[in-house]
Structure formats: C-alpha cells, structure tokens
Chains A and B, each alone.
Chain A
Amino acid sequence: MAYIDQKKYYTNDAVTPTNANWGSYQYVSLKDIISNFLLMYQGNHHLVNNVNRYKILFHAKRAIQELNYDAFKIIKSLQLTIYDDLKFVLPPDFVNWVKLSLFKNNVIRDLIENVQVQSATSFLQTASASFTYDADDNATTEESALDTARKNGSLKSVYLRNEGEADNNSGSFDFDGDDIYNSRIGARYGLNTETANFNPTFTIDRKAGVINFDSTMANQSCILQYISDGMENGNDDAVSVNKLFEEYVYAAIKYALLNNKFGVQEYIVNRARKDKSSLLRNAKIRLSNIHPSRLLMNLRGENKWIK
C-alpha cells in the first residue's frame, strides 16, 4: 500500500470515517504481509518455493493469532448491562478474559472470579428419577436449582451460616430473639477469599459462551476487558499486525512451511525455528517499551532523599 499524505492521514479526505487512518502507520495489513512474503521469501531462488498462497495465508493468520494470545497484548473492552438472567454473552471475537469490572456510580470496581460452580444444566426428572425425552430423543432440560438459587439470591456460602447472620448495623446484640454472638455457632470457619468482598462475583462458562453473575449483579453495568485473536471476525481487510512484529510473522510462516515440507534438511528447519523464536523474543522486548530514559528515571528515583 502506498504511503498516504498528511491530509489523508488526518482527515481521510473527508470520507467517513474520517479517523480511519489515525495510527495506521504502526500496522502492516495482512494483504501486505502476504504480498511481501510472496515477493521476498518465496520463489525460484528461495528456500520456500511452489507453495500455494492459501497455505501462506493460513500460517500468517496463525502467527498473528499466536501473537495476540502471547505477546500482542492489545486488549479490547466491551460494556454491557446485566439483566435478570445474570448473563453476559461473550463477544464474538472473545478468546480469553483479562479483567471484569462493575461500573457503578461512575466508579470502576474490579470483580473477582468465583471458582465455585455457579451454573449447571439440569435434566427434567420424573418421580421415579427417570428422564423425559423430547421428539429428537434428547433428554428434556430445565433450569437447574443452582441457577434458580443464584438468580434469586438464595445461594448461600459454605463458610457462613447465612440464616444466623446478624445485621451489623442493628446496634443491638439481639437477633431473632437470640444473642448475635450465637449466630456463628455451627458455622464453618474460614474465608472464601474470592467471595469475601462486597462486589458481585462471576464464573465464566466458556462452553455456553456466557459469564454468569450472582444475583447482586442484576441491572448493573459490566465492563469486560478481553483479548481477541486479531482475526477481526473474518474481515481480512481489518487484520493487521504491528510493524514491531512484522519480521516475526515472516519467520513464522517460513518455519511452518519448511517444517511441513518433505525433504527439507533438518539444519534448515532448525535455522528457521531459531529465527522464529528469537524474533518473537525480540518482539516481546520491543513491546515491553524499555527505553533508556525511563530506566534512567527509575534509577534516579532510587537515590531520591525522602524528606
């Protein structure tokens, strides 16, 4: 792709979206990567020869996916409101989550994952414990008791004897005609750290493609920060890679092709593998943004006298 002039960069020549080119110089498009690879690394006098373009495309996309999982660290955010079903449907390009937050009263509160099971599938059972089946001979399902309890807020903790909990703000030692200090009698001691805070908790059901919350999350706004695989929902036009990783992508394609080709000498495959690994390491170092000036600032800070 040709370089663009500054007017096009800043205004996109008044074509909507006018911000389409902002920051674009950091990236190389997938199309450019494939063209460059075909021109520079594939041909009669190169190690890679007579390879279908779709194979190069496959390995290029796989390299970009791996970068996104491992080194790229470009995090997307999505804010949605949780309704009565207490579900947050995972975005279509979701691969893994980074952080989940509750946005309440203009404050962002980090949520903690509850590793205990929060949702289950339940088969409809008759009085004799046998299942019922639908027209396709699949067992009929119903909302599980666990889900019902979670949604209506009656799900209790194994660590607390919830029915004996006193209201700490009551200002009285009396609770239900009993001393509040008796409320702990019979309770299991200890702390379930993931639920020991004021905020709602959640569990990610990857198979179902949802995040399940406890009942306190109803009608609350939630922000999901997640990583994608960079495939932009299959839109090849939008797939790009930072220039810091460009060389790695070429090396990864070359290695994948040579490694899968019959009759390539092992030392050539090894060379390609080492190229790939070292370039990935380089890319990660580049991305860590360690500049001498920043390092210097930190070192100076070490000797600062605190008065």
Chain B
Amino acid sequence: MINSVRNTVLAIINKNNYGYISPADFNLFAKQAQLDIFDEYFYNYNRQVNEENARVSGTGYADIKKGYEEVIDTFSVTAQLTQDATNVYTMPTDYYLINKILCSSGGTFKGEAERVSQSKITLLNGSLLTAPSTNFPAYTQQASKVTVFPDTFNGANDIEAQYIRYPLDPKWTFSTIAGGAPVFDQSQADYQDFELPADDSNNLVDKILQYAGISVREGDIYKFASVEEEKENKQE
C-alpha cells in the first residue's frame, strides 16, 4: 500500500517537479500520518459507542463499531512482562495503551488486575473489604512500569499484559535510481508497509499531502487535502 500512497501523493503534489518529496521526507510524513489516523480510531470508536447508546447505529454491515474494533485489535499484543523488582514489571517499549494485566501464580492464572490510580491505591491497600487479593489483584502505573498488588505476585513469569501497540513506522525503500528517481524495492530489510487497512489509503494520502503541502509552502495542497479529509470524516 505504501507505494501506491506515495505515487498518489507525488502525482498530486509533484507538478513540474516543483513539489518533489524525497523518500526520507515521505517516510517522516507517512509515520506522522499513520499515527494521526491510528489515534483517531480510538476517538471514532468512542463516538460509535455513543451513537449506539443513542440508538443511531445499526447492526450487521451497519455495525461500524465492530469495524473499528477489528482494526484496533490488529494492534493487540499479549506478552509476558519483564520483572524489574519484587512486584514491579516493565511494559514493552511499543505499547500504546494497556488493556489487561493478567496475573498468574505458579503457572496458574489467578485473575485480571485492575488499574487503580496512584491517589487511591494506598486507601485501597488499607481497605478491609476491597484490598487487592489473589482473586482481585490491582496495579498502578509509573512511567512504563506497573506495580502489581498484592505483592504475592512476584514471580518472573507471573505477569502478562494484553496491550495495544503503536503501529510500526512505515518505510518506503528503494535500492536503485532510474531517471533521477528512486525505484521502489520492497525486498529491502527495513521495508515496512502501512499497518492500517487499505481502506485508510485515502486518509493517508490526505494527511501526507497536508504535511507535504506545508513542507513545500504550497497552501493549495494543504487546503485541498484538508477539504478532502473533512469530506471523508463527514462520510464516516
């Protein structure tokens, strides 16, 4: 998908070689555009939930929320966390948001830990009825580290996380230059296509055009891309 997106972007912007964007610049804009759209998925998902609650959403093929869920779930990862201290574990560097923290003891699954804010955890630990227990564990987060309660969860393999990772940085690669232009080569080791569904190629083109338009100080391109994006959003 990345090559077709790039070709479309260049076709729109590169009038008389005025708006040529180098592969390095394209990769930067592509990364930014992908992150923007990835982020929007969560807001769109929330909007769909609200629409369902307001009974203005359908089922079957009209179930837009399901589509968003499917896309977000393609970024879902379940991984064992590395132990940092007794009951402190480190999240992987690529995590975007934590969905679940699963606690085991001696290889047996015990329960899903609940996220508790730092402001509540001291009170919760002191509570007679609701203190975190093996069946109902809790965790707090500090930077990329999670602290799991009760601290009986302290084995190297005790904690597993199901999280949504960031999409990988897209990279349009080439190996040769023909006629002054680089030739696309997806066999390069660092090649990375967009991870968003093909359905998003229009959005990606619009976003990249906006960044490229600003880059080449071409207001028309920026305006065109913005209007296009708005049209897409309205349609959704």
Contact = CB atoms under 8 A, between A and B. Distances in A.
Interface of A: 30-31, 34, 44-45, 52-55, 57-58, 61-62, 231, 234, 236-237
Contacts of A34: 136
A54 B116 contact: yes
Interface of B: 49, 52-53, 111, 114, 116, 124, 127-130, 133-136, 138
B53 A31 contact: no
A44 B114 contact: no
Contacts of B114: 52-54
B138 A54 contact: yes
A57 B138 CA distance: 12
A54 B125 CA distance: 11
Given A54-B114, A54-B138, A57-B136, A44 B52 contact: yes
Nearest to B115: A52
Residue from A44, A61, A234, A237 with most neighbouring chain B CB atoms (10 Å): A44
A240 to B, nearest CB: 12
A288 B13 CA distance: 81
A28 to B, nearest CB: 14
B53 A236 contact: no
B53 A44 contact: yes
Given A34-B136, A53-B114, A237-B135, A61 B129 contact: yes
B51 to A, nearest CB: 11
A57 B128 contact: no
Contacts of A55: 130
Most chain A CB neighbours (cut-off 10 Å) among B53, B124, B133, B135: B135
A236 B136 contact: yes
Nearest to B131: A234
Nearest to B113: A53
Contacts of A58: 127, 129-130
A141 to B, nearest CB: 29
A62 B135 contact: no
Given A44-B52, A61-B129, A52 B116 contact: yes
A52 B111 CA distance: 15
Contacts of A54: 114, 116, 124, 127, 130, 136, 138
Contacts of A57: 129-130, 136
B111 to A, nearest CB: 8
Nearest to A44: B49
Nearest to A239: B135
A45 B52 contact: yes
6 contacts: A30-B135, A34-B136, A54-B114, A54-B136, A58-B127, A231-B129
A62 B129 CA distance: 9
Nearest to A43: B49
Nearest to B114: A53
A148 to B, nearest CB: 37
